[in-house]
Structure 1
Amino acid sequence: MLDFVITILIFLMLVTLLYAVWSLIGDVYAAFFSLHQEEVISSLVSDVLSVFVLIELFRTFTDYLEFHRIRLRVLAEVAIVFILRELFIGLYAHRLGPLDLLATAALLAVLVAARVAAIQFVPKRGQDGS
Protein backbone atom coordinates (compact mmCIF):
# COMPACT_ATOMS: atom_id res chain seq x y z
CA MET A 1 0.00 0.00 0.00
CA LEU A 2 2.82 2.40 0.85
CA ASP A 3 4.47 1.75 -2.52
CA PHE A 4 1.17 2.63 -4.22
CA VAL A 5 0.94 5.92 -2.32
CA ILE A 6 4.57 6.74 -3.16
CA THR A 7 3.90 5.92 -6.83
CA ILE A 8 0.94 8.32 -6.83
CA LEU A 9 3.11 10.98 -5.16
CA ILE A 10 5.82 10.47 -7.79
CA PHE A 11 3.23 10.93 -10.54
CA LEU A 12 1.95 14.12 -8.87
CA MET A 13 5.53 15.37 -8.45
CA LEU A 14 6.18 14.71 -12.13
CA VAL A 15 3.08 16.69 -13.11
CA THR A 16 4.14 19.49 -10.76
CA LEU A 17 7.66 19.45 -12.18
CA LEU A 18 6.33 19.69 -15.73
CA TYR A 19 4.08 22.58 -14.70
CA ALA A 20 7.04 24.33 -13.04
CA VAL A 21 9.14 23.95 -16.18
CA TRP A 22 6.24 25.28 -18.28
CA SER A 23 5.91 28.24 -15.90
CA LEU A 24 9.65 28.80 -16.15
CA ILE A 25 9.42 28.94 -19.95
CA GLY A 26 6.57 31.46 -19.61
CA ASP A 27 8.68 33.60 -17.25
CA VAL A 28 11.61 33.57 -19.67
CA TYR A 29 9.28 34.66 -22.47
CA ALA A 30 7.78 37.37 -20.24
CA ALA A 31 11.25 38.58 -19.26
CA PHE A 32 11.99 39.46 -22.86
CA PHE A 33 8.77 41.34 -23.52
CA SER A 34 7.81 42.87 -20.16
CA LEU A 35 8.00 46.46 -19.07
CA HIS A 36 8.31 45.39 -15.41
CA GLN A 37 11.69 43.66 -15.69
CA GLU A 38 12.44 43.61 -11.94
CA GLU A 39 9.24 41.73 -11.02
CA VAL A 40 9.60 39.24 -13.87
CA ILE A 41 13.24 38.50 -13.12
CA SER A 42 12.42 38.02 -9.43
CA SER A 43 9.74 35.52 -10.42
CA LEU A 44 12.17 33.84 -12.81
CA VAL A 45 14.81 33.42 -10.11
CA SER A 46 12.23 31.96 -7.73
CA ASP A 47 10.91 29.56 -10.38
CA VAL A 48 14.35 28.31 -11.37
CA LEU A 49 15.25 27.58 -7.77
CA SER A 50 11.86 25.94 -7.16
CA VAL A 51 12.49 23.59 -10.08
CA PHE A 52 15.74 22.50 -8.43
CA VAL A 53 13.90 21.77 -5.18
CA LEU A 54 11.24 19.78 -7.06
CA ILE A 55 13.93 17.78 -8.85
CA GLU A 56 15.54 16.88 -5.52
CA LEU A 57 12.18 15.88 -4.02
CA PHE A 58 11.38 13.80 -7.09
CA ARG A 59 14.73 12.07 -6.71
CA THR A 60 13.99 11.39 -3.04
CA PHE A 61 10.70 9.67 -3.81
CA THR A 62 12.16 7.59 -6.64
CA ASP A 63 15.04 6.67 -4.34
CA TYR A 64 12.51 5.46 -1.78
CA LEU A 65 10.81 3.25 -4.36
CA GLU A 66 14.15 1.72 -5.30
CA PHE A 67 15.58 1.11 -1.81
CA HIS A 68 12.41 1.19 0.39
CA ARG A 69 14.07 3.65 2.71
CA ILE A 70 15.03 7.29 2.65
CA ARG A 71 18.74 7.82 3.01
CA LEU A 72 20.14 10.60 5.21
CA ARG A 73 22.40 11.76 2.38
CA VAL A 74 19.43 12.37 0.09
CA LEU A 75 17.43 14.15 2.80
CA ALA A 76 20.39 16.38 3.58
CA GLU A 77 20.76 17.24 -0.11
CA VAL A 78 17.07 18.18 -0.38
CA ALA A 79 17.33 20.35 2.74
CA ILE A 80 20.50 22.04 1.46
CA VAL A 81 18.89 22.85 -1.89
CA PHE A 82 15.78 24.21 -0.15
CA ILE A 83 17.81 26.39 2.24
CA LEU A 84 19.93 27.69 -0.64
CA ARG A 85 16.75 28.50 -2.56
CA GLU A 86 15.43 30.57 0.33
CA LEU A 87 18.83 32.21 0.81
CA PHE A 88 19.12 33.22 -2.85
CA ILE A 89 15.56 34.54 -2.95
CA GLY A 90 16.10 36.52 0.25
CA LEU A 91 19.39 37.94 -0.99
CA TYR A 92 17.91 38.87 -4.35
CA ALA A 93 14.97 40.61 -2.66
CA HIS A 94 17.34 42.41 -0.22
CA ARG A 95 15.33 41.26 2.80
CA LEU A 96 17.96 39.30 4.76
CA GLY A 97 19.88 40.90 7.59
CA PRO A 98 23.23 39.90 9.06
CA LEU A 99 21.66 37.68 11.74
CA ASP A 100 19.58 35.90 9.11
CA LEU A 101 22.71 35.23 7.08
CA LEU A 102 24.59 33.90 10.13
CA ALA A 103 21.70 31.62 11.08
CA THR A 104 21.44 30.34 7.51
CA ALA A 105 25.18 29.74 7.36
CA ALA A 106 25.05 27.77 10.62
CA LEU A 107 22.13 25.70 9.35
CA LEU A 108 23.93 25.00 6.09
CA ALA A 109 27.07 23.98 7.99
CA VAL A 110 25.07 21.48 10.05
CA LEU A 111 23.36 20.07 6.95
CA VAL A 112 26.63 19.75 5.06
CA ALA A 113 28.20 18.04 8.07
CA ALA A 114 25.25 15.61 8.20
CA ARG A 115 25.66 14.87 4.50
CA VAL A 116 29.41 14.30 4.87
CA ALA A 117 28.80 12.04 7.89
CA ALA A 118 26.18 10.08 5.94
CA ILE A 119 28.70 9.49 3.16
CA GLN A 120 31.59 8.64 5.50
CA PHE A 121 29.63 6.26 7.74
CA VAL A 122 27.66 4.13 5.31
CA PRO A 123 26.00 1.21 7.14
CA LYS A 124 27.30 -2.23 6.24
CA ARG A 125 24.98 -4.71 4.58
CA GLY A 126 22.51 -6.02 7.15
CA GLN A 127 22.96 -3.10 9.58
CA ASP A 128 20.49 -0.83 7.81
CA GLY A 129 17.49 -3.05 8.40
CA SER A 130 17.51 -4.66 4.97
Structure 2
Amino acid sequence: MPREVVAGARGRTLIFYGRLLDLIVIALIFVMLLTLLGALAGLIYDFAVAVSTLRAAAAVQGFTHVHDLVESLGQGLVVDVLSTFVLIELFRTFTDYLEFHRLRLRVLAEVGIVFVLREMFIGLYAHRMDSPVLLAIAALLAVLVAARVAAVQFPPRHNGV
Protein backbone atom coordinates (compact mmCIF):
# COMPACT_ATOMS: atom_id res chain seq x y z
CA MET A 1 0.00 0.00 0.00
CA PRO A 2 1.50 3.40 -0.93
CA ARG A 3 2.64 5.67 1.83
CA GLU A 4 0.30 8.52 0.79
CA VAL A 5 -2.77 6.27 1.09
CA VAL A 6 -1.77 5.16 4.61
CA ALA A 7 -1.04 8.76 5.66
CA GLY A 8 -4.39 9.93 4.22
CA ALA A 9 -6.32 7.18 6.03
CA ARG A 10 -4.49 7.97 9.26
CA GLY A 11 -5.27 11.67 8.87
CA ARG A 12 -8.96 11.01 8.20
CA THR A 13 -9.10 8.70 11.22
CA LEU A 14 -7.51 11.35 13.46
CA ILE A 15 -9.92 14.02 12.17
CA PHE A 16 -12.87 11.69 12.81
CA TYR A 17 -11.53 10.92 16.28
CA GLY A 18 -11.11 14.63 17.06
CA ARG A 19 -14.64 15.44 15.94
CA LEU A 20 -16.09 12.50 17.89
CA LEU A 21 -14.21 13.62 20.98
CA ASP A 22 -15.53 17.18 20.52
CA LEU A 23 -19.09 15.84 20.29
CA ILE A 24 -18.63 13.85 23.49
CA VAL A 25 -17.24 16.90 25.32
CA ILE A 26 -20.13 19.05 24.03
CA ALA A 27 -22.58 16.45 25.36
CA LEU A 28 -20.77 16.49 28.72
CA ILE A 29 -20.92 20.29 28.79
CA PHE A 30 -24.66 20.13 28.16
CA VAL A 31 -25.09 17.60 30.98
CA MET A 32 -22.93 19.76 33.27
CA LEU A 33 -25.00 22.84 32.41
CA LEU A 34 -28.21 20.98 33.27
CA THR A 35 -26.61 19.75 36.48
CA LEU A 36 -25.50 23.27 37.35
CA LEU A 37 -28.97 24.65 36.72
CA GLY A 38 -30.45 21.84 38.83
CA ALA A 39 -28.01 22.61 41.64
CA LEU A 40 -28.94 26.30 41.50
CA ALA A 41 -32.66 25.47 41.56
CA GLY A 42 -32.08 23.09 44.49
CA LEU A 43 -30.13 25.76 46.33
CA ILE A 44 -32.92 28.31 45.87
CA TYR A 45 -35.52 25.75 46.97
CA ASP A 46 -33.48 24.76 50.04
CA PHE A 47 -33.08 28.42 50.97
CA ALA A 48 -36.84 29.03 50.67
CA VAL A 49 -37.56 25.93 52.78
CA ALA A 50 -35.02 27.04 55.39
CA VAL A 51 -36.59 30.51 55.64
CA SER A 52 -40.12 29.14 55.96
CA THR A 53 -39.00 26.53 58.51
CA LEU A 54 -37.28 29.19 60.60
CA ARG A 55 -40.33 31.44 60.48
CA ALA A 56 -42.61 28.59 61.58
CA ALA A 57 -40.24 27.53 64.36
CA ALA A 58 -39.83 31.10 65.60
CA ALA A 59 -43.60 31.59 65.69
CA VAL A 60 -44.21 28.33 67.59
CA GLN A 61 -41.18 28.02 69.89
CA GLY A 62 -39.82 31.54 70.16
CA PHE A 63 -36.26 32.46 69.32
CA THR A 64 -34.60 30.64 72.19
CA HIS A 65 -35.01 27.10 70.81
CA VAL A 66 -34.30 27.94 67.18
CA HIS A 67 -30.49 27.90 67.43
CA ASP A 68 -30.11 24.16 66.66
CA LEU A 69 -32.50 24.47 63.74
CA VAL A 70 -30.53 27.42 62.33
CA GLU A 71 -27.30 25.48 62.66
CA SER A 72 -28.63 22.40 60.85
CA LEU A 73 -30.32 24.40 58.09
CA GLY A 74 -27.27 26.61 57.71
CA GLN A 75 -24.99 23.61 57.37
CA GLY A 76 -27.13 22.22 54.54
CA LEU A 77 -27.08 25.56 52.74
CA VAL A 78 -23.30 25.88 53.13
CA VAL A 79 -22.82 22.40 51.65
CA ASP A 80 -25.12 23.28 48.72
CA VAL A 81 -23.31 26.54 47.97
CA LEU A 82 -19.87 24.93 48.12
CA SER A 83 -21.03 22.04 45.93
CA THR A 84 -22.31 24.55 43.38
CA PHE A 85 -18.87 26.16 43.27
CA VAL A 86 -17.29 22.76 42.59
CA LEU A 87 -19.75 22.22 39.71
CA ILE A 88 -18.88 25.65 38.30
CA GLU A 89 -15.19 24.77 38.30
CA LEU A 90 -15.86 21.40 36.63
CA PHE A 91 -18.00 23.15 34.02
CA ARG A 92 -15.11 25.51 33.36
CA THR A 93 -12.75 22.54 32.93
CA PHE A 94 -14.95 21.01 30.21
CA THR A 95 -15.36 24.30 28.35
CA ASP A 96 -11.62 24.89 28.60
CA TYR A 97 -10.97 21.48 27.07
CA LEU A 98 -13.33 22.23 24.21
CA GLU A 99 -11.54 25.51 23.53
CA PHE A 100 -7.91 24.38 23.83
CA HIS A 101 -8.23 20.60 23.17
CA ARG A 102 -6.16 19.81 26.23
CA LEU A 103 -6.58 19.76 29.98
CA ARG A 104 -4.62 22.58 31.54
CA LEU A 105 -2.88 21.95 34.83
CA ARG A 106 -3.85 25.40 36.12
CA VAL A 107 -7.56 24.69 35.70
CA LEU A 108 -7.31 21.18 37.16
CA ALA A 109 -5.42 22.53 40.16
CA GLU A 110 -8.12 25.16 40.67
CA VAL A 111 -10.81 22.46 40.59
CA GLY A 112 -8.84 20.44 43.13
CA ILE A 113 -8.34 23.48 45.36
CA VAL A 114 -12.05 24.30 45.32
CA PHE A 115 -12.97 20.67 46.06
CA VAL A 116 -10.47 20.37 48.94
CA LEU A 117 -11.61 23.71 50.38
CA ARG A 118 -15.22 22.51 50.14
CA GLU A 119 -14.43 19.36 52.10
CA MET A 120 -12.40 21.31 54.64
CA PHE A 121 -15.13 23.91 55.19
CA ILE A 122 -17.81 21.22 55.53
CA GLY A 123 -15.71 19.28 58.03
CA LEU A 124 -14.87 22.37 60.05
CA TYR A 125 -18.44 23.63 60.00
CA ALA A 126 -19.72 20.26 61.21
CA HIS A 127 -17.01 20.11 63.94
CA ARG A 128 -15.88 16.67 62.81
CA MET A 129 -12.24 17.32 61.84
CA ASP A 130 -9.40 16.47 64.16
CA SER A 131 -5.81 17.66 63.92
CA PRO A 132 -4.29 14.87 61.74
CA VAL A 133 -7.06 15.14 59.14
CA LEU A 134 -6.77 18.92 59.09
CA LEU A 135 -2.98 18.70 58.65
CA ALA A 136 -3.36 16.19 55.82
CA ILE A 137 -5.89 18.42 54.06
CA ALA A 138 -3.62 21.43 54.56
CA ALA A 139 -0.71 19.50 53.00
CA LEU A 140 -2.87 18.49 50.03
CA LEU A 141 -4.02 22.08 49.64
CA ALA A 142 -0.41 23.28 49.71
CA VAL A 143 0.54 20.80 46.97
CA LEU A 144 -2.40 21.88 44.80
CA VAL A 145 -1.58 25.57 45.28
CA ALA A 146 2.08 24.87 44.43
CA ALA A 147 0.98 23.02 41.28
CA ARG A 148 -1.21 25.94 40.25
CA VAL A 149 1.59 28.45 40.88
CA ALA A 150 4.01 26.29 38.89
CA ALA A 151 1.51 26.00 36.04
CA VAL A 152 1.16 29.79 35.91
CA GLN A 153 4.90 30.46 36.23
CA PHE A 154 5.97 27.83 33.71
CA PRO A 155 3.35 27.61 30.95
CA PRO A 156 3.82 24.90 28.31
CA ARG A 157 5.71 25.85 25.19
CA HIS A 158 3.76 25.85 21.97
CA ASN A 159 5.04 24.24 18.78
CA GLY A 160 7.49 26.49 17.01
CA VAL A 161 8.30 28.66 20.07
TM-score, normalised relative to structure 1: 0.94
SS at match of 1:118: helix
Matches of 1:81 and 1:70, distance apart in 2: 17
Post-superposition offset of 1:88: 0.4
Matches of 2:112 and 2:34, distance apart in 1: 22
The reply to whether residue 55 of structure 1 matches residue 88 of structure 2 is yes
Post-superposition offset of 1:124: 2.1
The reply to whether residue 100 of structure 1 matches residue 102 of structure 2 is no
Q: In the alignment, what sits opposite 1:27?
A: 46
Give the length in aligned residue pairs: 128
Matches of 1:69 and 1:14, distance apart in 2: 20
CA contact (8 A) 1:46 1:89 kept: yes
TM-score, normalised relative to structure 2: 0.76
Q: In the alignment, what sits opposite 2:72?
A: 39
Q: Match for 1:86: what amino acid?
A: E
Q: How does 1:69-84 map to 2 (within 5 A)?
A: 69-84=102-117
Match of 1:17 among 19, 22, 36: 36
The reply to whether residue 121 of structure 1 matches residue 140 of structure 2 is no
Q: Deviations over 1:62-121 (max 9, x none)?
A: 000000000000000000000000000000111100011100100000000000000000
Q: Deviations over 1:29-81 (max 9, x none)?
A: 12212143332211100000000000000000000000000000000000000
SS at match of 1:95: coil
Structure 1's consecutive aligned runs of 4 or more residues displaced over 2 angstroms after TM superposition are 35-39
Matches of 2:156 and 2:120, distance apart in 1: 32
Higher mean C-alpha displacement, 14-23 vs 36-45: 36-45
Q: Which has the larger radius of gyration?
A: 2
Q: In the alignment, what sits opposite 1:68?
A: 101
CA contact (8 A) 1:73 1:115 kept: yes
Q: Which runs of 5+ in 1 are unaligned?
A: none
CA contact (8 A) 1:30 1:40 kept: no
